[in-house]
């Protein structure tokens, strides 16, 4: 792991998919010009999160991924693609990729926990649209060992712990909490996952759009292994930055060796 600069883009997806993608690519270029090594995009970054509409924008030939791969290669930058709606055979996934500086895909992850909830003011069933992923891979890079989760996954401690036990030092989380759960749970859960697994964590949300059917909470964050919020957006479109310093990770894990003190023999 080495010291590097991380950027998180918080954009407002619109119903013109191509325009959303082009806007985000310009923001990636801006992040690169500001010396970022890794850029993280939100969950379904190119279209409003309206479940019934998402099958209409599914991709079978990785069109969006290919555009982002060309951008990564052109700029010599790592990109976490947020997530896209991808058709694989007879299945449809909410899928994220990590692309390296050469434009190669080095990690792919399918959302494993699907958001099926029934609140008075929010009812949704992602399982009607998406199939579940079933693996939690990590990849070793020059920046560090990286894993990806997507939104609802972060509510399950086992998912982040699975990545940490495989050696993850950085967890990237494209997400779209809503304005019902976000104010109560967003900061607590993401900080807890960073603290208990002693990892850097980047949470990338879409910006709030009150004209959309789904109201994303925003508040994209970068958190260190001590649980400190290094950078945070508000609810509007924004881009946040932070330096990721391996010395911080080494210090936290050295002083409070939680992962070494686990007792898997009794639980």
User: Which of the residues are catalytic?
Assistant: 43, 111, 151
DSSP 198-257: T-EEEEE-PPP-TTSSS-B----EEE-TTS-EEEE--SSSEEEEEEE-HHHHHHHHHHS-
User: Quick one: tokens of 186?
Assistant: 């967003």
DSSP string, 37-49: SEEE--TTTTS--
Residue 261, judged by CB atoms within 10 A of its CB (0-12, 13-18, 19+), counts as exposed
How far apart CA 149 and CA 80 sit, in angstroms, is: 11
Name the one residue in this structure whose structure tokens are 């379904």.
44
**C-alpha closest to that of 249 among 80, 77, 3, 5:** 3
3-class state of residue 70 by DSSP: helix
Q: Which residues contact 187 (CB under 8 A, 6 or more apart)?
A: 219, 221, 229
């Amino acid at each position: 792991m080495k010291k590097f600069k991380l950027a998180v883009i918080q954009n407002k997806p619109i119903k013109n998919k191509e325009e959303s993608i082009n806007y985000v690519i310009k923001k990636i270029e801006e992040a690169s010009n500001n010396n970022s090594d890794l850029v993280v995009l939100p969950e379904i970054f190119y279209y409003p999160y309206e479940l019934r509409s998402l099958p209409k924008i599914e991709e079978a030939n990785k069109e969006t991924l290919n555009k982002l791969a060309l951008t990564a290669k052109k700029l010599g930058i790592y990109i976490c693609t947020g997530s896209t709606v991808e058709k694989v055979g007879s299945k449809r996934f909410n899928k994220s990729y990590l692309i390296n500086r050469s434009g190669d895909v080095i990690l792919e992850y399918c959302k494993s926990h699907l958001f099926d909830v029934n609140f008075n003011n929010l009812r949704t069933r992602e399982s009607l649209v998406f199939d579940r992923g079933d693996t939690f891979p990590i990849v070793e890079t020059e920046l560090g060992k990286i894993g990806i989760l997507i939104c609802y996954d972060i509510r399950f401690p086992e998912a982040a712990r699975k990545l940490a036990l495989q050696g993850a030092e950085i967890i990237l989380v494209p997400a779209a909490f809503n304005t019902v759960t976000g104010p109560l749970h967003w900061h607590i859960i993401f900080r807890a996952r960073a603290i208990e697994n002693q990892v850097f964590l980047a949470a990338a949300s879409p910006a709030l759009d009150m004209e959309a059917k789904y109201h994303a909470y925003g508040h994209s964050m970068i958190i260190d292994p001590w649980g400190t919020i290094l950078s945070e957006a508000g609810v509007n479109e924004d881009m946040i930055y932070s330096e990721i310093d391996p010395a911080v990770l080494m210090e936290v894990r050295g002083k409070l060796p939680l992962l070494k003190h686990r007792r898997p023999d009794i639980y």
